[in-house]
Amino acid sequence: MSDVDYDFVIVGAGPAGLTAALYAGRARLSVLVLEKAAPGGQVLVTDWIENYPGFPEGVSGYDLIEKMTEQVKRFDVVIQTGEVVSMDLGGPVKKLELKDRTIAARTVLIATGASASRLGVPGENRYLGRGVSTCATCDAPFFRDSVVVAVGGGDTAIQESIFLTRFVKKVYLVHRRDELRAVKVLQERAAANEKLEIIWDSTVTEIKGSDAGVAAVAVKNLKSGQESDIAAEGCFIWVGTDPNTAFAKGHVEMDEGGFIITDDHRQTNIPGVYAAGDVRRTPLRQIVTAVGDGAVAAYEAMHYLENL
């Protein structure tokens, strides 16, 4: 008779969670992966991945996740749909509260990732799905030959804006600074793309429209203070991410942004509880780093279990 349901419960089936599942499954731990929607997380909305080693031509987000999931399933890992709403991490047995049941585990990995941040400007929620989007690969074909605005200056913003130019007539990329954060190879491609024009030193202040959807995006130049409207049918937002950690608040230590703080072993301030991937406080949030985090966390969980 066991006092727990599983040795290792992984919350979130993105690259971090799936890699941890692969390592723990091969170590013959009893493993449960809980995913609230569908395996993949943010990778699913990434149209093309060029910086994951082993795919010289690149790979689509969906194909990569499908392969990761298939690989995990070879090792007796249980993947279930479920959303953790709260936790009790006080004792040696950790309890995860779902809407309809409680799961008891010896070790827990939080790998719930992050979600696209919003701008918090008027019109943004109203026109979501009717012109406002955070997913070019899902929505770009609806903007064929249109003018759209994109917001951001990092890798995602540049990569996805370039993807948009395959469909749209023009992308105005609004960026708050006078230089891009994105990696050089993407900056070079952006500069060479005639359909992409960068509006420097500016922010979006409002998304305007009618019942038909988005009609214009109001932009303010931060240096001159000048405001203007760009006539556009779409507004794509790529301004960073927020961690999916609401359910863990008060249970594990986080930084002021809600990202979970771990040690070098990916352990949180609670022994036997780990965090991996984008949810963790880390200088780089990529698929490769998430995968590495997942492996370390699973390895540490094995050691923790051996010493119980």
Partner 1 sequence: MAEGIKEVSDATFDAEVIKSETPVLVDFWAPWCGPCKAIAPILEEIHKEFEGRLKIVKCNVDDNPSTPSSFGIRAIPTLMIFKGGEKVEQIVGMVERAKLEQAINNNL
- 269 forms part of the interface with partner 1 (CB under 8 A): no
Task: Please select the residue that binds partner 1; options are 130, 189, 195, 220, rule is CB under 8 A.
Answer: 130
d(C-alpha 95, C-alpha 54), whole Å: 38
Task: Please select the residue that binds partner 1; options are 51, 67, 90, 138, rule is CB under 8 A.
Answer: 138
- 17 forms part of the interface with partner 1 (CB under 8 A): no
- 78 forms part of the interface with partner 1 (CB under 8 A): no
- 15 forms part of the interface with partner 1 (CB under 8 A): no
Task: Please select the residue that binds partner 1; options are 3, 57, 99, 256, rule is CB under 8 A.
Answer: 99
Which window, 61-69, 149-157, 170-178, 285-293, contacts partner 1 (CB under 8 A)?
61-69
Binding mask 173-212 for partner 1 (x = CB under 8 A): --------------------------------------xx
Is 235 annotated in the active site? no
Q: Which is nearer to partner 1, 213 or 292 (CB)?
A: 213
Task: Please select the residue that binds partner 1; options are 11, 18, 21, 44, rule is CB under 8 A.
Answer: 44
Minimum distance from residue 32 beta carbon to partner 1 (Å): 17
d(C-alpha 55, C-alpha 49), whole Å: 9
* Subset of residues 209 to 248 that bind partner 1, contact rule: CB under 8 A: 211-213, 233-234
Name the active-site residue from 63, 76, 88, 138: 138
Task: Please select the residue that binds partner 1; options are 58, 141, 257, 271, rule is CB under 8 A.
Answer: 141
d(C-alpha 47, C-alpha 78), whole Å: 28
Task: Please select the residue that binds partner 1; options are 4, 26, 55, 62, rule is CB under 8 A.
Answer: 62
Instruction: Summarize as ranges the residues that interact with partner 1 (CB under 8 A).
Output: 36-40, 44-46, 60-62, 65, 81, 83, 99, 128-131, 133, 135, 137-139, 141-143, 211-213, 233-234
Catalytic residues: 135, 138-139
